[in-house]
Each structure stands twice: as structure tokens, then as C-alpha cells.
Structure 1
């Protein structure tokens, strides 16, 4: 079965397709299997109805001809509308010749009359905007199923190339592509079905996969040992601001719930307000220089509610002391326009606006933007959003897909920074800690959300759900005797 963790760009998938015949599986067999997978997915979810398959001239259209033939064999009332005929001698031309059924015009009227339209016009490798003559036809469909991607979705970036129509379901093959997870592609695809089409072993040999779906194939969260104690679990120090102590509290609660053994919040001036909160929260007014003398304080969180001036003063000292630093919020704002000031930190966690102030606009290619930023500063970049991208300086990228929309609430980012810092404190490597932290953050929101998709979750709800989210990873198949 397909490995759900690896993501292949359209170019990489093209290499896989070209390698398959040399390993014993002809391309025509793969096309037949792809069309069969689409037909199977449709039959499982939908009742027979008047159906039109809209076919392009390439391999995507070839898959469409197979779908039409197989559904017709099952008694579906089905027709094919061809944008253009396939080129002679291609697999698509062979499949088109095997279609003996009804052909109809590629028109808005035909799409509107159909109970179901199947979009087999263009696949994920399209490198130009879709012509309105195509998008207008697909937009007229009442229900739409897409082959590989909805026509116009960029398989590498998830960007919309033209007026892309929203599919109820998208069926793709062997491996997902980044565009299936990145917005707006993820929403435009609807339900995404990944199908096994019989690719031979060895097709990935020579392809240096650098992009994955974020999940447990990439990392393992720390588990406790009988001999462990608070110092072996690590010391985390959080710099807090006097005026926005709540941000530091949210981050600190999350870090402690994520497993940090001993946590200190450092404030300037009177820390009694913070001392009056959680009993386990250690508060210090000691100067930063004195705290840095303690070599056990290896991991620091700098930014949430800290204030720009204090962040601007503290960050260079932490970097000079060669500490492991998670930089968030005000630490990022303090470096706006000069991201090289972040060289020496372990992880940064910007949302799109903070990223733009540091590195320039994200643009249509979120993965490429995060990769460039990570390489520039030598740190892991967590580019936040509903499709958070976690990029390492060496080019590795994980794309997260488990975050519910309810995470779009104030303080959620502080909690995420705390989870990542808490995992770093326990010895996880930066990219793995960042990726795991993003996943745990999304899982905790799903657990804590009282009204999925409808609002109601606040950042304070997240910390208590973190242990349950971690338990899903450490004890995934816990059984009662």
C-alpha cells in the first residue's frame, strides 16, 4: 500500500512513472489501474447517475477514458467530453480508442445536465493557468470528482492556477503531492483518496525525497524512564514581559505539559503576579547574565509577551551563550528587516505576517519560502497556518494536516512555542521537536475543542489536552487485560 508519509512533487512523480516500465510494470497497466481506482472510489460513495467524464489530451485524460469504460460496464449512464484528442501513439490514445460509448461536446450545458462530472482534464503537473473555456465548464457541474487534482491546482504548491472548481472528492495515486495538503489545494480537493496502483518496488531509488506529511514516521516523542527525574528531563527557561505575562504563562503551561522537567519564568521587576498563578511555576527576577552562568539552562524560549526592547536586548546574549533557543513573537519582531540576527537560534515560529517582515512575502510557494528561510539562518522554520510547514536548514520539510480551524485564536501560537520548547528540553533534535510539537498542538486542539469547526476553543483549553495527545503517541495501542 502507499506510504502516506512521503510527498512527491509532480516532477518526482514523473520520475517514478518513467521508472516503472523498466521495473516490470508497463505504463499502460498503471493507467488502467489508476482509472480502476477512481471508478472504485466513485462506486463506493455514489449511486449511478448521468455522468460525464471531461478528458484532457494527456495522461490525466487517459485515466478518464478508463473510468468511463469501467463505470459503463457497471451500467452507469455515462459519456465522455474531450477537450482535445490524445496524441497518436500515447497511452491516452490507446485508452481513448477503447472507449466505445457516447461522446458529447465539452460544454457548460453538458456539465450542467450531468448528475456527476469527472474532472480528468489536467493533472498536478500543469505549469500554466487553466483557460476559462475549461474552468467555466467544470464550474457548471453540480457534483465534481477530480482525477489526481482538480484541474488548475498546482501539485507542488497547492496554488490555484485559474478558476479552479471545488471537488467533492479527488483520487490520486501512489503518493500524495504537496499540493494535496497545502492551501488552497487541500480545500479544493475535497476528500482526498490515495490509491495503490501497483507501482513496482524500487521506483523511488535515486529520488531524494525531502518532503513528508507530518507524523510519527518522522519522529518519536520522549517517553519517561523509571530512573528519570526532573533534571534529566531538562530545564527550560522562559523570558517573560511585565505587561503581557499571560503569553509566557500559556507557553509555560504547554511546555510543562509537554514534559519539561523544570521550568523557570524570568521577569524584570516584580514577579508576584506570576507567582500567584500555577503552583509549579518557578518565577525569577534574577539578571539574565547570572542565569546564563548555570550550564544546566540549555534551552530557552524567547519572545511570547516579552516586548520588543527586551527581546532585542536578550536574544543576542542567548545566542552568544550558545543556548538552544526557540524564538517566537517579539523575538521575531525584534529582528524584522534583519533576519540574520536570528542566526544561532534553534527554531523560529512565525505566522505569515511575521515571516514577511523577516524574509519578504511568502508568495504562492510556502514550502520553498520556508526552505529558503531555514537555509539562510541555519534554523528550523515553523511557518504557521492551517497548513503549517516545518522546514530544516538541510531542506527537509514536513507539512502538517491535523490542525482544526479552532486553533485560529489568540494565544494558540504561545502554546505551540511552549510545546516545541518542552520537547527540545527533553533532548529531541530541533526539526523533530518542531514537527512533533506542531502535531501535538493540532491533536490537543482536536481533543479539547468542544465545538469542532464552530468556535469555542480558547488557548487556555489546550494545555490540559497535551498529555492525552502525547499518550496517543506513546501508547497508541494500549489494551486492557
Structure 2
């Protein structure tokens, strides 16, 4: 599938395997890459007065020398500015030798209005801060307010983490990368630095990517639609699953209802709000198609699970932080059975701040209910403080480590939400929107996840689908969105998914 994401190390391995397998040599792949960049420059900026090509000493710089040669061949005024020279005998050295334009030291780079800059200094594998000369070039581009086309990734951004490696990085109008996207293209703030992202085919086929074996993907329907629940002609409500949502006390019942409404709208056959006695009347006044059951204690929760056999449970939204929630979560994990899934959100995550090991041990026990955690950044730090503090880890790797430790699928929320499975698979979501930064939107997401789990979708795929659907509904609704709008806003998204 074409939504694989390659780390810089995996991309290097793909290059190696492709060159070994043929038919393209290393210099031919470099020429293919440079040709893809040059074509985009000519197509998008045909009236540019001058093209400045900034070339580093490695393969990224080699791509730049190809770009400069091809632009000059069709009459574009081109200046090449180099930082260092390519290693003798390398593909980049050959590309530099074939470029008819003599490179000048980057310290003399001076762009003007109407020019365009091709940033081929350093690609996705950058591991140290840029030199003062490269930083000065970034500042000059910013002051001149001219478009930058980044080759592979804007120089200064880590392809692994999406974070600046030093204090400065280019901000591109267009980034042309090759074969597949890298984590730094989708993780913030790298995603914002890239501008528009174009993935160019340079002749490395899908069989090479399969041999590399990436386990990270860009989230979208191609990743999970084959597992999406399609209602059969003979289905009835309980074949479509049953979700139970635990409600909080008198002052905080709304969050559970948001999750319940979202679960119902996302296609589950039956939803029950599990309400303390002192909130039954409040919940009953707001529920029609959603069922209501009194659950005041652990025994009542056990009885509901035994009697009604829910497929998924949501615990945390508006429930209240403390020992009652911890006890309830552990009982569900330990006794509900492996065919049941628990979505733990909000207060459900914070309640284990002082005792995370008890949650992880229960989730990892044989026959335990499945666990999906939905932390935002603050909640992630409470549950996984050491992982959160590790500045060397990308958000992707933090989510993966958290999933492995917790024995559950982790939805690490944010504008660049990462979904990770204990088996190492992960997805980075790219359709997020600031419209979701509104109270209650996370409760809606929990309900969607539970609905897909209850309909038999595997946990990783259900989490990925729910995150994408949640964001897509918000994007289509547009400004003015509040959490109450989201369940109904799912309808056009569902119509497309179900054909």
C-alpha cells in the first residue's frame, strides 16, 4: 500500500535494496529525483527571475546539482551555492561534476524578490544543527520572502521526529520527497515547515518497500477500510454490537452522553448509559434511543456485563478521578473477557497517575479485556512520565513505547495524533483540524472507537478509523463546531465509507 511511512534509516535501506536489485544505479535514482524536483519548479514558478540551488555535501546536495543542471538546460538563470564538497567517488560527486554551473560558497548567497530557492542542503537524515552559513541562508530567504522548494525535507528538520535539530530550519512552500513520506513530514512542527508535500516516484517499487517492512503508516481509509464493519442484510441490533458508557455524577453527566451519542451514530446496534442512581433522572431527560441502566457499584457493573454482554465499554468521560474508577477499570479488564474492549479516556487515564503498573499488569494478563487508551499530551505525561520526558524520542516512538508498556492501543491525541499498537504498528493522522480543540470532542472520539470495536473491528484499525472519521467530520462541518455537532456531522463521512 502506498501509505507506508519510511524512517530515514528505512529509506536508506530501500535505496540500497533498489540499487542492488536494479535496473537503476545510485546516480540514476539521483537523476530521477532531481528531475522530479526540476519539473515541479518549472511547472509552478515558470516566471522566476533566478533559481538559487543550495547544495550540501551528501546525496541531498547531489539531487540539487541535478536540479541545477536540468533547470539550466532549459534556459533558467541558475546559481549554485555549496556548503562543502561531495565525497570523491560518490554519486553526489558525479552529479556535481556533470553540473555545468560552478558552485559558489554558500556564505555569498543573497536572494532577491522574484527569485526561487531550491533547498538541497540536508535531507531527512539530518542529525546535527545546521552550520552558521546555512542558518544565515535561512534568515536571508525569510527576509526576502521568496518561495523555497525543499528537496526531501526542509533542511534543519529531523526526518525522524519532525522537530528542528537546531534553532533554525527552512520553511518551504513545497517539499518534494521520494518514494514515501517520512515521519518528519507528518509530525509537528515539521509538517508546517514542509508546506505542500509531493511524493515523487523515482523508480523504487512496492516490492522493495515490502522487503524493508515498514510498520508505520499515514492514517486514512486505505489503511483500515477492508476491516470496516459493513452491515449485512440479515443483521439486527445486537449483531451490530452493544456499547456501555459509564456516567459520572450529577454535575458531569454530559461527557458520557456525548460518547453514547457518538457510539450510536457510528453504527453500533445498542448503547446503554450506565448511570449512578443520583443521575438517572438527569440522563433520562436527555436520552431517547439510548438505553439507561442504574449502576451504583462494582457488583451492578458486573451484573450488567454478565446480563447484557456488551462488546465495548467507555470509562472516564466525566466519571471523576479516584479509587472507584480504578477499581472499576481493573474489574472490567480482569473479568469481562477477551471478547470485550475497554476504552479508557479522560478521568480514566488520570485516575491511574499514581498506580499505572496496576493498569498495565491487568491489561497484559491472559484473557484480559482489550484496552484502548486515548490520552492528550497532559494525560500521556501523567500515565507515562518517563516516556513523555524523553526528548530524544519522537511522538511516534513515544506512542509505540506506551502501547508496548500498557498492552493496549494508544491514541496519543493532538493535531498530529499518533495511533500505536503493542505489536509495533503505528499510524500518524494527517487530517486533524484545530476545530477539534473544543470541550467534549475527546468524549465523542471515545464513543466512535467503542462503536467500531463493538462491531468487530480489530483494535488498531478501529482506533485509526475513529481518529480519521472524527477529524473528517469536524473538517467538513467547519467553523462554529462544538462537540454536540460531531455525532451528526459523522453522517456524510459514514455515507462515503459505506458506499
TM-score range, shorter chain: over 0.9
Post-superposition Cα deviations, 1:361-407, rounded to whole Å, max 9, x if no partner, equal 26451111111111111100000011111100000001110111211
Alpha-carbon contact 1:299-1:421 (below 8 Å) kept: yes
Tell me, yes or no, if structure 1 residue 330 matches structure 2 residue 330.
Answer: no
Structure 1 residues 46 and 217, CA, compared in 2 at 3 Å: closer, same or farther?
same
Post-superposition Cα deviations, 1:151-204, rounded to whole Å, max 9, x if no partner, equal 111111111112112111100001111111111111111101100111246323
Single out whichever of 103-112 and 222-231 deviates more from structure 2: 103-112
**CA–CA separation in structure 2 for the residues paired with 1:461 and 1:295:** 29
Query: Residue 308 of structure 1 is aligned with which of 311, 321, 331?
Result: 321
Deviation at 1:107, TM superposition (A): 2.8
Structure 1 residues 113 and 231, CA, compared in 2 at 3 Å: closer, same or farther?
closer
Deviation at 1:413, TM superposition (A): 0.6
Tell me, yes or no, if structure 1 residue 265 matches structure 2 residue 267.
Answer: no
Q: Which has the higher helix share?
A: 2
| Unaligned residue ranges in structure 1 (runs of 5+) | 476-481
Aligned position for 2:366: none
Aligned position for 1:478: none
Tell me, yes or no, if structure 1 residue 227 matches structure 2 residue 234.
Answer: yes
Alpha-carbon contact 1:169-1:191 (below 8 Å) kept: yes
Alpha-carbon contact 2:470-2:490 (below 8 Å) kept: yes
Instruction: Write out aligned runs for 1:239-318 (5 A).
Output: 239-242=246-249, 243-270=251-278, 271-286=280-295, 287-294=300-307, 296-309=309-322, 310-318=324-332
Instruction: Write out aligned runs for 1:26-41 (5 A).
Output: 26-41=25-40
Aligned position for 1:352: 377
Aligned position for 1:195: 200
Deviation at 1:431, TM superposition (A): 0.7
**CA–CA separation in structure 1 for the residues paired with 2:2 and 2:481:** 29
* TM-score using structure 2 length: 0.91
Deviation at 1:292, TM superposition (A): 2.5
| Unaligned residue ranges in structure 2 (runs of 5+) | 364-369
Aligned position for 1:479: none
Instruction: Write out aligned runs for 1:438-477 (5 A).
Output: 438-449=467-478, 451=479, 456-475=480-499
**CA–CA separation in structure 1 for the residues paired with 2:155 and 2:291:** 55
Give the total of aligned pairs.
Answer: 468
**SS of match in other structure, 2:222:** coil
Aligned position for 1:107: 107
* TM-score using structure 1 length: 0.94
Query: Residue 358 of structure 2 is aligned with which of 341, 352, 370?
Result: 341
**CA–CA separation in structure 1 for the residues paired with 2:302 and 2:85:** 73
Alpha-carbon RMSD across the aligned residues, in angstroms, is 1.6
**CA–CA separation in structure 1 for the residues paired with 2:371 and 2:383:** 16
Alpha-carbon contact 1:52-1:110 (below 8 Å) kept: no
Deviation at 1:288, TM superposition (A): 1.7
Alpha-carbon contact 1:108-1:138 (below 8 Å) kept: no
Single out whichever of 301-310 and 286-295 deviates more from structure 2: 286-295
**CA–CA separation in structure 1 for the residues paired with 2:182 and 2:412:** 19
Aligned position for 1:319: 333
Instruction: Write out aligned runs for 1:89-104 (5 A).
Output: 89-101=89-101, 103-104=103-104
Alpha-carbon contact 1:301-1:418 (below 8 Å) kept: yes
Single out whichever of 109-118 and 348-357 deviates more from structure 2: 109-118
Alpha-carbon contact 1:292-1:321 (below 8 Å) kept: no
Post-superposition Cα deviations, 1:420-442, rounded to whole Å, max 9, x if no partner, equal 00100111111111011001111
Post-superposition Cα deviations, 1:265-306, rounded to whole Å, max 9, x if no partner, equal 011123111111131121211322321322522311110001
Tell me, yes or no, if structure 1 residue 374 matches structure 2 residue 374.
Answer: no
Aligned position for 2:45: 46
Query: Residue 222 of structure 2 is aligned with which of 217, 220, 223?
Result: 217
**CA–CA separation in structure 2 for the residues paired with 1:138 and 1:176:** 23
Aligned position for 1:135: 135
Query: Residue 18 of structure 1 is aligned with which of 11, 16, 19?
Result: 16
Aligned position for 2:151: 147
Deviation at 1:14, TM superposition (A): 0.4
Alpha-carbon contact 1:52-1:114 (below 8 Å) kept: no
**CA–CA separation in structure 2 for the residues paired with 1:135 and 1:63:** 20
**SS of match in other structure, 1:393:** coil
**SS of match in other structure, 1:88:** coil
